[in-house]
Structure 1
Amino acid sequence: MNTLIFRTIAPLLVVVMIVFSVFVMLRGHNEPGGGFIGGLIAASAIAIYGMAAGPTAVRKALKADPITFAGFGVVLAGLSGLLSMAFELPFLTGLWLELHLGDAKVPISTPMFFDIGVYFVVFGTVSAIALGLEDEEGQG
Structure 2
Amino acid sequence: MKTLILKTASAYLLPVLLVFSVFILLRGHYLPGGGFVGGLIAAIAFVLHAFANGLKNTKGLLQFHPGFLMPVGLGLAFLSGLAPVLGFDDPFMTGLWLPYDVPVLGSVGSALFFDIGVYFVVIGVTLTIIFTISESA
TM-score normalized with structure 2 length:
0.91
1:29 paired to 2:29: yes
1:2 paired to 2:8: no
Count of aligned residue pairs for this structure pair = 136
Distance in 2, Cα, partners of 1:105 & 1:63:
28
Q: SS at the partner of 1:97?
A: strand
The answer to whether the Cα contact below 8 Å between 2:102 and 2:108 also exists between their aligned partners in 1 is no
Written as runs of structure 1 = structure 2, the 5 A alignment for 1:1-140 is 1-86=1-86, 87-99=88-100, 106-135=106-135, 138-139=136-137
Identity %: 43
What is the CA-CA distance between 1:110 and the residue it aligns to? 0.4
Distance in 2, Cα, partners of 1:45 & 1:63:
16
The code of the aligned residue for 1:64 comes to F
Distance in 2, Cα, partners of 1:13 & 1:134:
21
Distance in 2, Cα, partners of 1:72 & 1:30:
24
What is the CA-CA distance between 1:83 and the residue it aligns to? 0.3
Alignment root-mean-square deviation, CA: 1.8
Structure 2: which 5+ runs fail to align? none
The answer to whether the Cα contact below 8 Å between 1:98 and 1:105 also exists between their aligned partners in 2 is no
Structure 1: which 5+ runs fail to align? none
Distance in 2, Cα, partners of 1:55 & 1:122:
19
The code of the aligned residue for 1:17 comes to L
Distance in 2, Cα, partners of 1:62 & 1:39:
15
